[in-house]
Structure 1
Amino acid sequence: MSKGEYMRYKSCVIAMTGVCVALFGVTAQAADVRVKGTIAPASCSFTITQSVFDYGRIQPSSLSATQYTKLERKSTPFAVKCDAATLVSIRTQDNRASSKVPGMMQAAFNSTYNDMFNYGLGVSTKNEKIGGYVMLMSNTVADGKAVRVNGSSNNGATWTVGDGALAQPPHLTSWASSASTAPVALSTVSGNLLVQAVINKTSAFSVGSGISLDGHATLELRYL
């Protein structure tokens, strides 16, 4: 190889080497992709304007020794508000269940009001049962339209037309149009929560220096 040919070959090798250096000097680039979200029902609130129903002082002379005595109904507004149309229901819990007087509400109202609709009013200092009360919802309006208060006796598997009375588990209460028993998805529903107390026969307890009514129930908003 002549000197001139060798120099041309060397120049070629140097040029090629420069290209390789440039290629190997490139840094690999990467980008992360993340997929996020939350699967959850719409957020709902449940409010009762006045949660204490106070019957004040009751004169023993106004009560019967042989019959259950119904006191007047008391009422307060309630409201459910959701940030999107949602299927919801009400589940109740009687926190004084051991003080129920069996069969009281069927005698005071009618045969459909079995003990599932009976909430206890506590006991006297001698552990005597004072009475009970029923709870109902009335004048209910959902998203500007009147709705019925319907019930389920099997945790929402099936629904029947109700009269507004709130029963205890496995019962649920919800709202439906007049054309169906199934609950409707709603953004808002409002109405009145009614409470009516019934006092036991005074022959079943001693008034003594006085007895305090002590009903206590929890109303829980549940998603369907």
Structure 2
Amino acid sequence: MNKTLSALCTALLLTAASPAFAASTDLTVTGVITPSACTPNLSGGGIVDHGKISAKDLRPDNPTSLPKQTLQMTVNCDAPVQFYFSPIDHRAGTAWNTSSRFGLGLTNAGEKLGSFFVDALNVNADGVDAQAIVSEDGGKTWVKDHWEVYNLWAVGAMGDTSTPLQVKDLTLDLQVTTQIARGSDLTLTDEVLIDGSATLELKYL
């Protein structure tokens, strides 16, 4: 019992005798509460279904383009606000022969099945024609271009694509183009699921 107390007292004395050093780091919490909220929506539940495709109908030496399908996208806000979309590819790294498109998953043999991309058509912002714009630097600058997976997406005025519009009600056609990889690159002895999946995350500026 005495040994335990003696050791404890020594530890306390050594701690008290040690020089006092202090270090610190800062924590900052920031953000903006916007008075306006926006609700995005895609027709058809956001699903593009190509049904069953026969392996013999795939081109052996070139990618096979499946019929384009169009979904209507709407964004309705409480008041005009600047916003953009940040695309997230849930099959990242599986797009065949490109890094700018969304992937379709892998075959049972681990081969990249293909890719899909989207085009924004018939863009209308509060009753006025607008157009697709993108940012490649995290929203610092904006230019007119196609919506690709590694860009931020927004809409700009027909005469000024340098900044996203303030919009209350946005409508556009989201045309989806799906391509299957060359048949010669795929092992298709069993059924393979076309498994593209992406999220378009709406964020405020």
TM-score by length of 1: 0.73
Are 2:102 and 1:102 aligned?
A: no
SS state at 2:93 partner = helix
Q: Give 5+ residue unaligned stretches, structure 2.
A: 1-31
Residues 198-209 of structure 1 mapped to structure 2, 5 A cutoff: 198-209=179-190
Residues 22-41 of structure 1 mapped to structure 2, 5 A cutoff: 39-41=33-35
- Contact between 1:92 and 1:166, CA under 8 Å: does it hold in 2? no
**Take 1:223 and 1:63, find their aligned partners in 2: how far apart are those partners?**
42
User: Which residue does 2:87 correspond to in 1?
Assistant: 92
Q: What is the CA distance between 1:203 and its match in structure 2? A: 1.0
- Contact between 2:132 and 2:147, CA under 8 Å: does it hold in 1? no
**Take 1:173 and 1:85, find their aligned partners in 2: how far apart are those partners?**
17
- Contact between 2:67 and 2:178, CA under 8 Å: does it hold in 1? yes
Aligned alpha-carbon RMSD (Å):
1.4
SS state at 2:106 partner = coil
State the identity as a percent: 27
- Contact between 2:133 and 2:147, CA under 8 Å: does it hold in 1? no
Q: Give 5+ residue unaligned stretches, structure 1.
A: 1-37, 104-114
**Take 2:35 and 2:96, find their aligned partners in 1: how far apart are those partners?**
39
More helix by share: 1
Give the residue type in structure 2 aligned to 1:194. Q
**Take 2:58 and 2:86, find their aligned partners in 1: how far apart are those partners?**
32
Are 2:136 and 1:156 aligned?
A: no
- The total of aligned residue pairs comes to 172
**Take 1:102 and 1:69, find their aligned partners in 2: how far apart are those partners?**
13
More strand by share: 2
Task: Note the alpha carbon deviations across 1:191-213, whole angstroms, 9 max, x for none.
Answer: 11111111101111111122110
- Contact between 2:87 and 2:201, CA under 8 Å: does it hold in 1? yes
Are 2:197 and 1:216 aligned?
A: yes
TM-score by length of 2: 0.80
Which residue among 183, 187, 207 is the counterpart of 2:168? 187
Which residue among 32, 38, 44 is the counterpart of 2:38? 44
Give the residue type in structure 2 aligned to 1:195. V
- Contact between 2:103 and 2:115, CA under 8 Å: does it hold in 1? yes
Residues 94-133 of structure 1 mapped to structure 2, 5 A cutoff: 94-103=89-98, 115-116=99-100, 118-133=101-116
User: Which residue does 2:63 correspond to in 1?
Assistant: 68
**Take 1:124 and 1:190, find their aligned partners in 2: how far apart are those partners?**
36
User: Which residue does 1:10 correspond to in 2?
Assistant: none
Q: What is the CA distance between 1:40 and its match in structure 2? A: 2.2
**Which 4+ residue blocks in structure 1 deviate beyond 3 angstroms?**
none
Which residue among 118, 124, 135 is the counterpart of 2:118? 135
Q: What is the CA distance between 1:62 and its match in structure 2? A: 1.7
Q: What is the CA distance between 1:39 and its match in structure 2? A: 4.1
